Amino acid sequence: MVVLGIESSCDETAAAVLADGYRVLSSIVASQDDVHAPYGGVVPELASRRHLEVIVPVVERALGEARVRAADLDGIAVTQGPGLVGSLLVGTSLAKALAWVHGLPLVGVNHLEGHIYASFLTDDPPEYPFLALVVSGGHTALYQARAPREYALLGQTRDDAAGEAFDKVAKLLGLGFPGGPIVQRTAEAGDPTAIAFPASRMTDGARDFSFSGIKTSVSLYVKRHGPLSERQTADVAASFQAAVVRMLVRRTLRACVQTGVKRVVLTGGVAANTRLRETLAAEAGVEGVRLHVPPPRLCTDNAAMIAAAGSDRLKAGERARLDLNAIPDLVLAS
């Protein structure tokens, strides 16, 4: 089965061609970092306009590099949600048009499920059941994957997502956009124990996450001590990063203990963070938990993961109608 995947949920325009559900024949990603950098965050209207400009060339290039014609495809998978509605509509509209013209089966994919399926595009795919920590710019959630296409939500952020917090802290420190990579590079020269930023605690015992408090703490620190020197900026970045990593790792491993599941998938854009990968790997090893982490290129938004999830659903007999619509608040599990 050869499937075209299309991803346009936020600010990356991506297309990929996958064979047999796991062999990546091509994967093209067009970044919009230059468009949104002046604003320190993604501007939805600008994002959808750029998608319109580049999505057809991106799909054509993906098909060309895979040496596949659209008519030769066995199906099309497209991100249906969650995400920015204008961005999602660009991808779903093109996918529906291609499916109609070429008479191809179509399936809508949840963006978060796509991130989980990125782990199946590696040499060390996870076995069910496993826990999936999905951390990105717009989402932070912990799922239990009981079987293919069967998920239970264990916890999620109650406010900011981890990636959003990185972007906001980068803006507070005047570092630029996107925040994740810049904060990580800046933190390399800092002391992660220099500042004791607070870690959120759920008084109701839930496995949820919260990052608004630490973002506020960083803001107050910058106001009280600014203007910051280069060393102070590095210490703030390192201490903030360490606190976020600590929250993510502790809640994930606590969920492993509570559920008895000994396999974890770490995925999403923030999963490209080296300190998070290394810390979770080290502590998971101590707890006897096996960790699966896709390479960084598969953690950030891409269409190969959408094609992987879509291939599985197409094989299971799922089909979307040509009135498929974008769902910006699409839920993976509850």
Note the pLDDT of residue 154.
Answer: 96
- Residues ≥6 apart with Cβ < 8 Å to 275: 184, 187, 241, 242, 245
Statement to judge: residues 140 and 112 lie in one domain: no
Residue 258 lies in a domain: yes
Statement to judge: residues 74 and 194 lie in one domain: no
Residue 325 lies in a domain: no
Statement to judge: residues 303 and 288 lie in one domain: no
Residue 7 lies in a domain: yes
Statement to judge: residues 271 and 176 lie in one domain: yes
Statement to judge: residues 67 and 53 lie in one domain: yes
Note the pLDDT of residue 81.
Answer: 97
Q: How many domains does the chain have?
A: 2
Statement to judge: residues 108 and 210 lie in one domain: no
Statement to judge: residues 34 and 12 lie in one domain: yes
Question: What's the rounded Cα separation, in Å, for the pair 116 and 265?
Answer: 7
Question: What's the rounded Cα separation, in Å, for the pair 266 and 253?
Answer: 12
What's the rounded mean pLDDT across residues 248-257?
95
Question: pLDDT by residue (tens digit) across 293-330?
Answer: 999 999 999 999 999 999 999 999 999 999 999 999 99
Note the pLDDT of residue 203.
Answer: 65
β-pairing, 75-81 vs 263-267, is unpaired
Does 219 score more than 90 pLDDT?
Answer: yes
Does 250 score more than 80 pLDDT?
Answer: yes
Statement to judge: residues 146 and 273 lie in one domain: yes
- DSSP SS3 for 291: strand
Statement to judge: residues 68 and 92 lie in one domain: yes
Residue 330 lies in a domain: no
Q: Residue 149 is encoded by which pair of tokens?
A: 């296409």
Question: pLDDT by residue (tens digit) across 21-37?
Answer: 999 999 999 999 999 99
Residue 122 lies in a domain: no
Question: pLDDT by residue (tens digit) across 276-299?
Answer: 999 999 999 999 999 999 999 999
Question: pLDDT by residue (tens digit) across 38-50?
Answer: 988 899 999 999 9
Statement to judge: residues 140 and 40 lie in one domain: no
Q: What is the CATH number of the domain that holds 22?
A: 3.30.420.40
Statement to judge: residues 104 and 83 lie in one domain: yes
Question: pLDDT by residue (tens digit) across 156-215?
Answer: 999 989 999 999 999 999 999 999 999 999 999 999 999 999 887 776 767 899 999 999
Residue 328 lies in a domain: no
Is the separation of the CB atoms in 51 and 90 below 8 Å? Answer: yes
* Residue 30 DSSP code: E
Question: pLDDT by residue (tens digit) across 106-157?
Answer: 999 999 999 999 999 999 999 999 999 999 888 999 999 999 999 999 999 9
Domain that residue 139 falls in? 127-293
Question: pLDDT by residue (tens digit) across 55-113?
Answer: 999 999 999 999 999 999 999 999 999 999 999 999 999 999 999 999 999 999 999 99
What is the pTM for the complete model shown? 0.94
Statement to judge: residues 149 and 245 lie in one domain: yes
| The dihedral formed by the CA atoms of 202, 142, 11 and 328, expressed in degrees to the nearest 10 | -90
Note the pLDDT of residue 207.
Answer: 85
